[in-house]
Amino acid sequence: MGQGLSCRVQDEHGLFTAVQYGHLEVVKSLLHKDSSLIHLTTVYDRHSALHIAAANGQMEIVSMLLKDASVNPDCLNRHKQTPLMLAAMHGKITCVEKLIDAKANILMFDSLNGRTCLHYAAYYGNSDCLETIISAARTSQVATSWGFSRFVNIRDGKWATPLHLASRQRRAQCVRMLLDSGALVCASTGGYGFPGSTPLHLAARAGSIDCIRELLAWGADRLHRDASGRIPYLVALKHKNESCAALLDPSSAEPLVWPSPLKFISELNQDAKALLEQALMEANKEREKTILTGAGYSLPSPSHSDTGTVDDNISEASETELCGICFDQVCTIEVQDCGHQMCAQCTLALCCHNKPNPTTTSLTAPACPFCRSNIARLAVAKVKVNDFDRNLDLDLYSSCKLPKFREA
């Protein structure tokens, strides 16, 4: 990413220009001659040197400025934006990390739209910045004072959450990250977009199949109506996003939905979770292919996160232990503590579900198909390949394209 913030203002001392272009020695020289310049701001936008350095990713200058005890990491410009907000906006991850280390407040709101640094990172699709801010919220006083879930679902001045912004801007990676962190998939906006819009309405308007896919997998309601009574399907049609409309059509097959949040599976190894996520998304892509082909549309080009081709040496290895349920796929998931193993697809059939019925007050926990004990913990299985026991190589198996999902 290029320069984040230009200094098209009168700069009689040359400080702001030097900061923008990372001329560290010039900045040091100017501040040595006149230390008061460290608090100088631009005339109109009231950008400080720290704002400009953070927005342009000038890490060395940011570090130098923060060493001065008189420099406030949460200094405000004309729109009450902090340096952290500008760094998140422009995707300057090292500056985001440095400012957070310097105790910059992630709960500051600007005066433009009432947005925080989390909103900025989501809106501009800077997933690395988003991840860093979310991580900071887990480990800082935010978690105890505000509550982590409340922070992830923080509203701006128009009642838009970061998930709303990411969905409207087609930021699928940010959408997934926010959902995985507890973002509410069916929250409604106030004045952002059309009143009463959910993230699914906004993704339908933007025409983002990737965002729609993520939202549906986390239980987004295709029948939720905005303030005008429109469901996401009608929004997609209005904006001529026909392929999105085909997936959102209430008459089309329901997608598989993650147990949200993983319902009965209280302990899920991260590697096992990645395998299950991949299997679920592949299963839903098969559904999408069927729907779009039937509607006369072609499936969009694979995104960078899509899996590659099948490794024939893996999929056809005669020595590989196969799932005892489908007798087709490699055992990749292990139920603990009973130790029984099955493939990711069969695990999904047991643990995932269609959209839950709100009238149902109690649900039955999924049970191991071999011993009928409740499934509470899942981990990556140990598989036997060519008579050598080893832990599953996640990278190797995640490069394999999974076949069409089989209903249990």
DSSP calls for 230-245: --HHHHHHHTT-HHHH
Peptide bond just before 180 cis, omega within 30 deg: no
181: nearest Cα among 121, 116, 135, 115: 135
Q: What is the pLDDT of residue 389?
A: 43
Mean pLDDT calculated for residue range 283-289: 83
Mean pLDDT calculated for residue range 306-312: 34
Q: What is the pLDDT of residue 393?
A: 43
Q: How many other C-beta atoms lie within 10 A of the C-beta of residue 405?
A: 21
Where b means 16+ CB within 10 Å and e means fewer, 356-367 reads eeeeeeeeeebe
Q: What is the pLDDT of residue 299?
A: 57
Q: What is the pLDDT of residue 381?
A: 83
Name the band, by pLDDT with cuts 50, 70 and 90, for residue 408: very low
pLDDT tens-digit series, residues 366-403:
788 888 888 777 888 875 544 444 444 444 333 333 33
pLDDT averaged over the chain?
82
Cβ atoms of 85 and 47 closer than 8 Å: no
Name the band, by pLDDT with cuts 50, 70 and 90, for residue 306: very low
Name the band, by pLDDT with cuts 50, 70 and 90, for residue 128: very high
Is the pLDDT at 110 greater than 80? The verdict is: yes
Q: Spell out the long-range contacts of 81-85 with Cβ–Cβ below 8 A and sequence spacing 24 or more.
A: 81/51, 81/110, 81/112, 82/108, 82/110, 82/117, 83/48, 83/50, 83/51, 83/53, 83/54, 83/55, 84/54, 84/108, 84/117, 85/110, 85/115, 85/116, 85/117, 85/120
pLDDT tens-digit series, residues 21-33:
999 999 999 999 9
**Token pair listed for 230:** 């429109």
79-83, 104-108, 211-215, 389-393: range with lowest mean pLDDT: 389-393
DSSP secondary structure letters along 180-204: HTT--TTPPPSSSSSTT--HHHHHH
**Token pair listed for 190:** 């106030």
Q: What is the pLDDT of residue 11?
A: 67
> Which of the two residues, 196 and 7, has the higher pLDDT score?
196
CB neighbour class for 12 (10 Å; exposed up to 12, middle 13-18, buried from 19)? exposed
What is the distance between the terminal CA atoms of the chain, rounded to a whole angstrom? 47
Q: What is the pLDDT of residue 205?
A: 97
Is the pLDDT at 201 greater than 50? The verdict is: yes
Kindly report the backbone phi and psi dihedral angles of residue 111, in degrees, each rounded to the nearest multiple of 5, phi listed first: -105, 0
% the chain with pLDDT above 90: 55
Is the pLDDT at 101 greater than 60? The verdict is: yes
Q: What is the pLDDT of residue 266?
A: 56
Beta bridge partners of residue 384, listed in sequence order:
389
Is the pLDDT at 264 greater than 60? The verdict is: no
pLDDT tens-digit series, residues 203-228:
999 999 999 999 998 889 999 999 99
Number of H helices, E strands in the chain: 20, 6
Cβ atoms of 173 and 207 closer than 8 Å: no
Name the band, by pLDDT with cuts 50, 70 and 90, for residue 198: very high
Is the pLDDT at 308 greater than 60? The verdict is: no
69: Cβ–Cβ under 8 A, 6 or more apart, which residues? none
Q: What is the pLDDT of residue 115?
A: 98
329: Cβ–Cβ under 8 A, 6 or more apart, which residues? 322, 323, 343, 344, 345, 346, 402, 403
Domains of the chain: 1-105 (1.25.40.20), 112-263 (1.25.40.20), 316-351+368-408 (3.30.40.10)
Q: How many other C-beta atoms lie within 10 A of the C-beta of residue 306?
A: 13
87: nearest Cα among 116, 67, 64: 116
Q: What is the pLDDT of residue 256?
A: 78
322: Cβ–Cβ under 8 A, 6 or more apart, which residues? 328, 329, 330, 331, 343
pLDDT tens-digit series, residues 157-167:
999 999 999 99
Is the pLDDT at 302 greater than 80? The verdict is: no
Rounded distance, CA 396 to CA 332, Å?
12
CB neighbour class for 141 (10 Å; exposed up to 12, middle 13-18, buried from 19)? exposed
Rounded distance, CA 216 to CA 258, Å?
9
What is the largest distance, in Å, between two alpha-carbon atoms of the chain? 78
For residue 146, the 8-state DSSP code is I
Q: What is the pLDDT of residue 273?
A: 77
